[in-house]
Structure 1
Amino acid sequence: MTRATSRRDTRARIVDVAARLLQEEGPVAVTTRGVAERAGVQAPTIYRLFGDKDGLLEAVAEHVMSTYVSAKAEIVEAASAADVDPVEELRDGWTMQIDFGLANPALFRLLSDPDRVRHSPAARSGKQVLQARIRRIALTGRLRVSEHHAVDLIQAAGIGAIHTLLSTPPDQRDPDLAPSILQAVLTRILADTPEPAHQAPIEAAVALRAIAPQLDVLSHPERQLLAEWLDRAIKAMSANL
């Protein structure tokens, strides 16, 4: 075994131990000494690999989130291949996200820290999964706001729902809260009907914006210009809704 391989294995073992401690006992339990003992290493090893406790928590958050996001991405890809209704797939993804947050409160709080999210590759990947879900809806002509606005609304609503539920004692939580929040968002972003013959201009514009990057009959500058025009039109029409 090479030194690099040994270092990776040691790092992975430490992250796995810290992740279990975080999930079972919360951030307070993730001490360098406690993690080192459970991982069978010396405390200086953790400092050498992660810098400090915050560095270790960063690594744990990235590891768990990356694994979770990879699973979500596979679900989206499978749903697309199987031609699953994108709105129902979005609902399933929402439920999965809420359940994940409630099952991993300490990790959720780490991952919802704005300073941490801005620099997190896993968080960016997670947002890309949501963007892919919204893109699938846009392509059906059912989206009546911009993709960017829809993604931000769903992301903000999901974070707020989880925070609210986590701040409520488990036996007092409203089981209809998260589904009701999602339904309110869907009412805002979805058209009443997906049939092209009944599309209003904004749904048609959003659908065309979704496929604009793939219009190979246009040059790259032309695709950029088309996207800019459509973004402007969608923003103007959305303001009148």
Structure 2
Amino acid sequence: MTADRPHGTRMRILRAALDLLTDGGTEAVSTRAVSARAGVQQPALYRLFGDKRGLLEALASFGFERYLAQKEIAHAATGNPLDDLRAGWDAHVAFGVDHPGLYQLMYGTVHSGQRSAAAKEAYEGLLAVMRKLAALGALRTPPDVAAQMIQSAAIGVTLRLIASDGDPASDDLSPGVRDAILAAILVDPAADDHTAESDTLAARAMSLDSRLADQPGHLTPTEAALLREWLRRLATRH
């Protein structure tokens, strides 16, 4: 019981901070207000989080954990990377719109060079889907570039929707941007001959790059790195 007490106190403080954030934004999340809402003394909060910045950073990590848990519940992996990608985008945007204060804390107040373990886990999940698509020959851009494009676009769309506050004109924004980004990173089976040839070369380069990453074979690390660099050049030269 004693060993569990600090964890219980920490969660009570985080939930109190989340309530205040939801009601009044980051300005409402003072150490005094959080302590009062959680029913703990301020020294206990300082021992666990250091100061308000430490509390907000922990709250952002808490938000990522909730996001990942909610996303996992919302849809199970189908085995189809493209379907998973679409569902993942929609779940990301829905979470932000449903939890605007928390989302803005998670993505709108980032300190340079710092990402929580949960934020890294969220990105790694997206990158894993990109690598599956590359292995299938469906990706025309390097997996890490594609993942960064999708994440950046999804964050921008979600923040725009939060700012629009239910403006009906924004209803088509998320699916429109999602499909535009997918068109930019995926091979188009209906493309004209010239584009199809370029897409095929890029997709094959990315597929081989993906296989080299998993199974370098008989190549030395230097040889594998050089070959992967050439493959990426082929994939990005249209």
Q: Same fold (TM over 0.5)?
A: yes
Give the structure 2 partner of residue 211 of structure 1: 211
> CA–CA distance in 2 between the matches of 1:131 and 1:19?
29
Moved more, 173-182 or 90-99: 173-182
The one-letter code matched in structure 1 to 2:231 is A
Partner of 1:99: 94
Q: CA RMSD in A?
A: 2.5
Matches within 5 A, 1:140-219: 140-193=136-189, 200-215=200-215, 218-219=217-218
Over the matched positions of the two proteins, sequence identity in percent amounts to 34
TM-superposed deviation, 1:90:
0.5
Q: Where does residue 226 of structure 1 map in the other structure?
A: 224
In 2, Cα distance between equivalents of 1:173 and 1:114:
29
Corresponding residue for 1:50?
49
User: Distance between the aligned counterparts of 2:71 and 2:129, measured in 1?
Assistant: 10
- State how far apart, in whole Å, the 1-side matches of 2:222 and 2:66 are: 34
8 Å CA contact retained: 1:202, 1:237: yes
Question: Which letter does structure 2 place at the counterpart of 1:190?
Answer: L
Tell me the CA shift for residue 172 of structure 1.
4.2
Separation of aligned partners in 2, 1:75 and 1:228: 41
CA shift, 1:74, in A, is: 7.6
Contact 2:63 2:106 in 1 (8 A): no
How far apart in 1 are the matches of 2:233 and 2:160? 31
The alignment's TM-score, normalised by the length of structure 2, stands at 0.85
**Which residue matches 1:60?**
59
Letter in 1 for 2:68: V
C-alpha separation in 1, matches of 2:159 and 2:222? 38
Hey, what's the Cα distance between the residues in 1 that align with 2:50 and 2:132?
42
Q: Residue deviations 1:35-79, cap 9 Å, x none?
A: 212211112211222121221111111112123224546878x42
| Unaligned residue ranges in structure 2 (runs of 5+) | 191-196
Listed one character per residue, the Cα deviations across residues 160-206 of structure 1 (whole Å, up to 9, x for unaligned) are: 11122222242344111111111111111111239xxx871210111
Aligned equivalents of 1:236, 1:205: Cα separation in 2: 7
Q: Is 1:131 the counterpart of 2:127 in the alignment?
A: yes
Structure 1 segment 59-98 matched on structure 2, within 5 A: 59-72=58-71, 78-79=76-77, 82-83=78-79, 85-98=80-93
Alignment TM-score, normalising by the size of structure 1: 0.84
Counterpart code for 1:155: Q
Question: Residues 229, 74 of structure 1: CA spacing in aligned structure 2 closer, same or farther, 3 A cutoff?
Answer: farther
User: How far has the Cα of 1:115 moved from its partner?
Assistant: 1.3
2:16–2:34: 8 Å Cα contact kept in structure 1?
yes
Tell me if structure 2 keeps the 8 A contact 1:144–1:190: yes
Pair 1:224–1:111, CA change in 2 (3 A): farther
Q: Residue 45 of structure 1 aligns to a residue in which SS?
A: helix
Q: CA deviation at 1:116?
A: 6.2
Structure 1 gap segments, 5+ residues each = none
Matched to 1:215, the amino acid is Q
8 Å Cα contact 1:94-1:158 kept in structure 2? yes
Closer, same or farther: CA 149–168 of 1 in aligned 2, 3 Å: same
Counterpart in the other structure of 2:105: 110
